[in-house]
Amino acid sequence: MSTTPAGLVTLINPIGESETEHFTFARRLDTLEGKSIGFIDNIKPNAGLFLRYIEEMIRKDYPDVQTHTVRKNFTPNHLIADKLDGKVHAVVNAWGD
């Protein structure tokens, strides 16, 4: 992600390619049509806002998509991704600093 001189943000779409054979990436969905998408909010500043924007963009093209959001609490070792297990086809994870 980079900031343009006008203060706009350019979002880079990671392709998920590896130059090594040591691991494989999960297969990407062919479509979001009729799918259920999970959102993981790690409570970092603006993580929730970021996920709302992503959900809005998805819903423009796929209005029937179902969403499930889990939000981390302040306990560092508290797991939350397992709450999406069996409920979603894919996950958007807001993490980082």
Domain ranges of the chain: 34-97
Task: Supply angle C-alpha 85, 69, 93, rounded to 5.
Answer: 80
pLDDT tens digits along 52-69? 999 999 999 999 999 999
Inform me whether the pLDDT recorded for 85 exceeds 50.
yes
Per the listing, tokens 């959900």 go with 55
pTM greater than the 0.75 cutoff: no
Per-residue CA distances from 35 to 27, 70, 75, 81 (Å): 15, 17, 31, 18
